[in-house]
Amino acid sequence: MKTWIPDGRNFAYLTWKQVDALPREKTLLVLPTAAIEQHGHHLPLATDTLINNLLLGQALALVPEELPIYALPALCYGKSNEHLGFPGTLSVSAQTFLAVLHDLGASIANAGFKKLVLYNTHGGNASLVDVLARDLRAEFGLRTFSLFGSPGATLEGVSEQERTYGFHAGEVETAYILHAAPELVDVSEYSANYIARIENPELLRPEGSSANFAWLTKDIAPSGVLGDPTAATAENGDRWSREAAARIAQILVAMYDFEPRAGA
C-alpha cells in the first residue's frame, strides 16, 4: 500500500523501547479506519484507505515536530455491506469491526496511553466509529476522539449537487487519487449516477437527515458510482488535499492539547 505518512510519525516503525519512552499521558495515537471496496470502474478498491493515508500523512507533516503524535497502521477493512455484489469488495460485519477496534483500544490502554483518535474516511464506518469512541472512553478511560474525512475543507468549485449527493467515487475522491496516484485512475471508465437531485427535494433522504431510507449500491448504481467524477482534476485534488490536511493538523494539535473542563 502506498503511504504518505512521514517515517518519523509512523508508530509501527518504532521499537518497543522507543514506544516505552513516549510520554503516556500526552502522546496522541491516530488509528485510521477505511475500507477495501468497489469504487466504480475508474478508481481502485483501496480508494478510501489511500485518501486516509494521504490526508493524514500530509497533516502529520505539518504538526510541530516536538509533539508526540503518531499514526497507527490503518484498519483497511470496514463495514462495506452496501457495496456487496461488486467483485473486490471486502466487508466485515458491524460486530467484527467493533470488536477489532475494541481490542486495539484495549491494547493501547494496556500500554498506558491515554489519547486515541479514530480517523475515518469510509461512510459505512461512521456510526460505528462514534459508538466505539464512547465505549472506549467508558470502558478504558481513554480520551477518545473521532475525526472524519476532509473536515472543514471548503472544496471550492464543487457543485451543490455533487457536494450533497457525491457520496462515492465522485469528483472529490477522484480528484484526490488523480493528484496522489494518477496511475490508479482509469479516466476512460468514468460514469455518473446520483441517488437524488437537489432540485427535487423529497421527504425521505438517503442519509444525513432525520428521516432516511436504507440503500444498497447495486440497487441504484450499476457502475458503483454515486456522484459524477467527470469534473475531477489533479490540480483540485492537490489544492483540496492541502486544505484538508492543514485543517486536520490543526484538529490533531487541538486534540493533543485537549483537557475536559467540568461543567463545560
Between strands 115-120 and 143-148, the pairing is: parallel
Q: Which domains does the chain have, with CATH numbers?
A: 7-257 (3.40.50.10310)
In tens digits, the chain (264 residues) has pLDDT values of 999 999 999 999 999 999 999 999 999 999 999 999 999 999 999 999 999 999 999 999 999 999 999 999 999 999 999 999 999 999 999 999 999 999 999 999 999 999 999 999 999 999 999 999 999 999 999 999 999 999 989 999 999 999 999 999 999 999 999 999 999 999 999 999 998 899 988 888 888 789 988 999 998 899 999 999 999 999 999 999 999 999 999 999 999 999 877 654
Q: What are phi and psi of 222, to 5 degrees?
A: -55, -30
Q: What is the pLDDT of residues 96-150, one digit of tens each?
A: 999 999 999 999 999 999 999 999 999 999 999 999 999 999 999 999 999 999 9
Q: Among 74, 30, 20, which Cα is nearest to 256's?
A: 30
Model pTM?
Answer: 0.96
d(CA 144, CA 134): 7
User: Which residues have a Cβ under 8 Å from the Cβ of 114 and sit 6 or more positions away?
Assistant: 24, 25, 26, 27, 141, 142, 143
Cβ within 8 Å of residue 131, ≥6 positions away: 98
pLDDT number for residue 264: 44
Instruction: Classify burial at 138, counting beta carbons within 10 Å of its beta carbon; exposed 0-12, middle 13-18, buried 19 or more.
Output: exposed
Helix (H) or strand (E) holding 148: strand 143-148
